[in-house]
Structure 1
């Protein structure tokens, strides 16, 4: 499949079928992600795959505690949007998805943040190619999850990708038109 077709098809998924994809498929998408370009070829990413139910539950509990704190002080347009879309501090997809892929970036590498997120982009398209769904969930405070997983100090959690077969009939959010996002020779 062509990249444009994959990108057009890819959407956020927060509900998953109980069927567990083969572990080989998870490794295949990470193989694609690790091919991303990076500053000085440092390849500053680390992928932690979690399929243990007990650990997924601990990650969910940890994230939901931080979400409660976040929701308690969020106001204005963001809170209005969250309420309108039905978002809450509860994140059931963190324990219901067959896999969690936690993506860490090595902060001592040059351009670690940009490089790590390029790898995430590759991973998202590779998941779509295999018919797997995910949501790029970023905890409001990743530190407690880093501690739970004994991440070294120089590795920062960037996102948690719950992965499985999609069970979410929700359509993809509409995208802006090309002419609304591109210009030549200046803004």
Structure 2
């Protein structure tokens, strides 16, 4: 069942303009909090945003920095962005009914690694509830930090309307070695 969820889950940048059940998002965060963490510190914090003005403020802040990032991009990254029509404009930040800002608590060792494990749990739980998502790492995460918390990722959540298929994954035997270090 987890394998089926993982095979089905894809990045979505286009969302339908319809609300989703907040209880489904809280369920997914409840799953995410069960992830393992260094020293059992559970160094994550989740901020749910559905306020339109705040989503617009977040979008404006990141797009200013994204323009600069895209202008400087080159090589394989630039080719990828062009091939998949990914631009500095981040409309998904205002189109998705919810944003989940995921933070790690810098006071704990392995906080970043532990928090990203919880993000993996979160993504599969959202998929289980039939919700689409995207792991968006803004170019200016420090602008959203507070107290001892560092922003790791913004996850737009909603019902997807992205016609693009899931990108192909590597074959299992391409990523496994035995007794080889």
TM-score by length of structure 2 reads 0.97
1:159 is aligned to 153
Q: Which residue in the other structure is 1:134 paired with? A: 133
Q: Distance in 2 between matches of 1:184 and 1:20?
A: 47
The one of 161, 171, 179 aligned to 2:173: 179
Q: Distance in 2 between matches of 1:134 and 1:27?
A: 15
In structure 1, the residue corresponding to 2:25 is in which secondary structure?
helix
Structure 1: which 4+ aligned runs deviate by more than 3 Å?
A: none
Q: Distance between the aligned counterparts of 1:71 and 1:168, measured in 2?
A: 22
1-side partners of 2:116 and 2:13: how far apart?
Answer: 20
Query: Residue 89 of structure 1: SS of its match in structure 2?
Result: coil
> If the length of structure 1 is used for normalisation, what is the TM-score?
0.94
- Aligned partners of 2:14, 2:70: CA distance in 1, in Å? 22
Counterpart-to-counterpart distance in 2, 1:73 and 1:122: 33
In structure 1, the residue matched to 2:116 is 117
Secondary structure of 2:27's counterpart equals helix
Name 1:88's counterpart in structure 2: 87
Is the Cα contact below 8 Å between 1:16 and 1:93 reproduced in 2?
yes
1:21 equivalent in structure 2: 20
Kindly state the Cα deviation for residue 72 of structure 1 after the two structures are TM-superposed.
Answer: 2.2
Partner of 1:44: 43
Structure 2's unaligned 5+ residue stretches are none
Deviates further, 87-96 or 68-77: 68-77
Structure 1 window deviating more from structure 2 (69-78 vs 39-48): it is 69-78
Which residue of structure 1 aligns with residue 31 of structure 2?
A: 32
What's the offset of the Cα at 1:145? Answer: 2.9
Aligned residues of 1:62 and 1:145 also touching (Cα < 8 A): no
TM superposition shift of 1:64: 0.4
Aligned to 2:3: 4
Equivalent-residue separation in structure 1 for 2:81 and 2:162 (angstroms): 19
Contact between 1:105 and 1:116, CA under 8 Å: does it hold in 2? yes
SS in 2 for 1:119: helix
